[in-house]
Amino acid sequence: MRTNGRILALVAVLGLTACPLPKKCQVDSECSPDGVCTGGICFLRPDGGTGGGSGGAGGGGATGGGMGGGGVDPCLTVDCAPNTFCVSDGGAFGCIAGFTELAFTSPDAGAVYGKSREVAVEVQLTRDGRTSLPFPGAVALESPVAVTLGAVGGGRYAGKVDAGVVSEGPVTLRASFDAGFAVLTATRQVVSDQTAPVVTLSLSPAPLRRVGTVSEGDPAANYAFAYRRDEKAEVRVEASEPVVVTAASLTGLDAGFTSLASCQRGCDAGVFCACFEVDWAAYPLNDFRATYALAVKPVEDLAGNASAPSAPVTARVTRWKWASTLTTSGGTIQSPAVDGQGNVVTGEAALNQGRLFVMSPFGDDRALYDAGVGAIVTAPVIAPQHVYVGAKNGTAGGLFQFSLDGISEGQVCVATGRDPTGTLALFDAGMEALTSVTQQGHVLAGLFASSNCVQAGSSAPPATGSQYQTVATGSTLFYASGTSSALSRNVLSAGSWGASPTSNSTPLFTKGLALFGSTVAGGGGGPTVGGVYALKADGSLVNRADYPAGTSSPAGIPIVIGTTAAPILVYGNQNGDLIRASYTAGDPGTFADAGFSAVKATAATLTAPVLGADGTIYTVDASGGVYAYTNDLSTRLWTLPVGTIGSVNTSPALDTARMGTTKDCSRPGTLYIPSSGDGHLYAIIVDSKGLSGTAPWPKFQRDDQNTGNPDFPLGANSCP
């Protein structure tokens, strides 16, 4: 509301004259006896009226004399009221208001304010352009509460009103200023919203889990329908009115929330909703499974009213992926191999039963081959087009070839009583040849392209029950026995093995071998010793380095981390320790202590650890406990306690995540664990995005194809 204060006042000039209140008029007679009506206001006549006093410079009297001919400004003799000033016009003169208008510039009309906010008020006082009267120091805000608005310059006045002191509904702000002859006022309508929003949070349910031969539900109590570590979920926030909610408004996780442009389901009528995606893989999970309470912090509606925190919602997250039932008849589940498309291949060696399994990354059977009354007695090896195993078929044993669809494609080196136990290694020196050493000590090379078997050794030595470990490079094979202390090297040349292999003794019965650079290394134990050893691979196999010195616990299968130039052997032992030993190559080389696990496994750890692409080391003990360690073994990151899966006597494998059969390097990887104790293959979600692609020998038989040969690349199951 605006009030004009430009008002002229009648003046009687006598010395310095006070300016009386003005009189409005329509005709001169209303201004008698001495005035004239000009512009609706009575002015003193220029000739001084009928007075005749003697004073003015031009002869006007004190009570009515005109300005006369002397040219003196009559306003010099006028004392105007505060906030007014004198003007003269054609001899007429008087006081008028110096300030003409008061108006709100803030807040906007209709603005809404909550009880937790202050209303910022600003008004503008307009001064008559003909005067330089100083702006006053303050303007009054009269309602809804009395507040002094202080000057901020240029006729602007500002202050704040606590919106919490007014009641719900429309509110009128009223400001005023005494302009001398009248009071200038201004009003502005706003709205007071005193009601806080009510906020709730909900989560989209986890996908349904399969049961049966492939079981996806975590067997732990309350985790059967938990979210998996590699999954995402929608977090839905609903409120009774629009609120300001962001990913930072959500609590319960340190990270992982991302705003979504829309919700999977639209908002209900009269309800505000906003949705976020939570990536369960985007925050640290230093446990196998965990429970979280997700909630919304207090958030404000558009008026600034803050809600209470939402009620928490429980979210359970697990690393469990699936368990596939392979057998219920007992026996051994072999160390799995994984091809470049994520298909998992393993075999069963059970009494009167042997089968080869080919499964998708999701645990579904792609193929199954029944070997008859025999057994799959080695871990499978995957070549670019084939799967190889050592198997027994009735009383005969040998090397078998399958397609990746599980179709039998041939067999070589099959003979009565032959048992190619232990590990296989693959040559790729111009020909695809599968190598093995039988428990009788036969050194075999299966040349499937020509259906030929190249054998070295006696034709019919007695079976020893020994399992030979083999690794290869070029056309050279290294092999060592698990029941004797011999390490040997032989070369396949022109379709024949060398007549006299190079052999030497080791202090250990070998559980596993590794080959890196110019070094061959092994790990194992004897009655009172255990650890690792290393020799110059292209030398005489005489100058050996051993670690540790003296009596120690029998050791398991080693892997090699670090680099070829600065390798570190990592292995477990009968006591449940996990140990690092750095090696400097030479003839002989030297070992040095490089640390060990601060927390032991529950049981003996004799299978090979696995090195993930992020440097995490995973290991499984004989009782089925699963452990993740930092690369230096100083910290155990998480544990799957003993009792969840059955006993384990063969080594795990590690693959990337899969989008169908394509590598997905944006998601967590999968650790495959064979349990001979309960006949299952388990898939566990790990944070490593696949197998290390840079370590010299990151797992059992080096790569996920179990080639046992450093000539083959690692990238098929690794992410950068």
**Cβ-contact 11, 44 below 8 angstroms:** yes
- At residue 10, the pLDDT reads 36
DSSP helix/strand/coil, 167: coil
Which one has a higher pLDDT value, 538 or 238?
238
**Cβ-contact 123, 104 below 8 angstroms:** yes
For the chain, domains (ranges, CATH) are 17-97 (no CATH), 99-193 (2.60.40.10), 201-318 (no CATH), 322-456+463-711 (2.130.10.10)
**Cβ-contact 677, 647 below 8 angstroms:** yes
User: Does pLDDT of 15 surpass 80?
Assistant: no
Would you state the structure tokens that stand for residue 669, as one six-digit string? 């990887």
DSSP helix/strand/coil, 562: strand
Top-ranked range on mean pLDDT: pick from 236-240, 267-271, 524-528: 236-240
For the residues 63-72, what does the mean pLDDT come to? 43
- At residue 586, the pLDDT reads 93
**Tens digits of residue pLDDT in 150-196:** 999 999 999 998 877 778 889 999 999 999 888 999 999 999 998 99
* Cα–Cα distance, 611 to 191 (Å, whole number): 64
User: Does pLDDT of 340 surpass 60?
Assistant: yes
**Tens digits of residue pLDDT in 27-59:** 878 777 767 776 666 666 655 443 333 333 333
Tokens 């702000």 found at: 173
Name the H helices within 36-142.
Answer: none
Would you state the structure tokens that stand for residue 407, as one six-digit string? 């179709």
How many residues can be counted in the chain?
Answer: 720
| Sign of the dihedral defined by the CA atoms of residues 494, 496, 502, 507, in that order | positive
- At residue 56, the pLDDT reads 32
**Tens digits of residue pLDDT in 438-480:** 888 889 999 998 889 999 865 445 556 688 999 999 999 999 9
Would you state the structure tokens that stand for residue 397, as one six-digit string? 């044993």
- Residue 7 pLDDT class (50, 70, 90 cuts): very low
**Tens digits of residue pLDDT in 210-235:** 999 999 999 999 999 999 999 999 99
* Cα–Cα distance, 295 to 199 (Å, whole number): 10
Would you state the structure tokens that stand for residue 485, as one six-digit string? 């202390």
* Cα–Cα distance, 574 to 56 (Å, whole number): 126
- Residue 373 pLDDT class (50, 70, 90 cuts): low
- At residue 167, the pLDDT reads 80
Whether residue 107 is preceded by a cis peptide bond, meaning omega within 30 degrees of 0, is: yes
- At residue 456, the pLDDT reads 85
Mean pLDDT of the chain: 87
For the residues 65-88, what does the mean pLDDT come to? 73
Cα-based distances in Å from 661 to 48, 231, 394, 567, 656: 110, 17, 36, 33, 10
* Cα–Cα distance, 651 to 524 (Å, whole number): 15
User: Is the model's pTM score more than 0.85?
Assistant: no
Tokens 């499937």 found at: 448
Cα-based distances in Å from 492 to 377, 399, 581, 617, 680: 24, 17, 32, 35, 38
- At residue 517, the pLDDT reads 94
DSSP helix/strand/coil, 5: coil
Helices vs strands, H then E, count in the chain: 0, 60
Cα-based distances in Å from 332 to 343, 399, 401, 406, 608: 20, 18, 20, 19, 16
In the chain, the percentage of residues whose pLDDT exceeds 70 is: 89
* Cα–Cα distance, 365 to 559 (Å, whole number): 30
Would you state the structure tokens that stand for residue 228, as one six-digit string? 């998996």
Strand 486-493 and strand 476-481: the pairing is: antiparallel
For the residues 391-419, what does the mean pLDDT come to? 85
* Cα–Cα distance, 264 to 284 (Å, whole number): 27
Strand 199-203 and strand 183-193: the pairing is: unpaired
- Residue 197 pLDDT class (50, 70, 90 cuts): very high
Residue 300 CB-half CA count within 13 A: 11
For the residues 410-415, what does the mean pLDDT come to? 89
**Tens digits of residue pLDDT in 500-534:** 888 888 888 999 999 999 999 999 998 778 999 99
- What residues have CB less than 8 Å from 459, skipping those under 6 apart? none
Query: For 590-660, where are the E strands, in sequence order?
Result: 590-596, 610-611, 617-620, 626-629, 636-640, 653-655, 657-659
- At residue 688, the pLDDT reads 98
**Cβ-contact 343, 361 below 8 angstroms:** yes
* Cα–Cα distance, 222 to 207 (Å, whole number): 15
Would you state the structure tokens that stand for residue 283, as one six-digit string? 């925050």
- At residue 365, the pLDDT reads 86
Name the H helices within 572-646.
Answer: none
Which one has a higher pLDDT value, 163 or 397?
397
- C-beta atoms surrounding 152 within 10 Å: 11
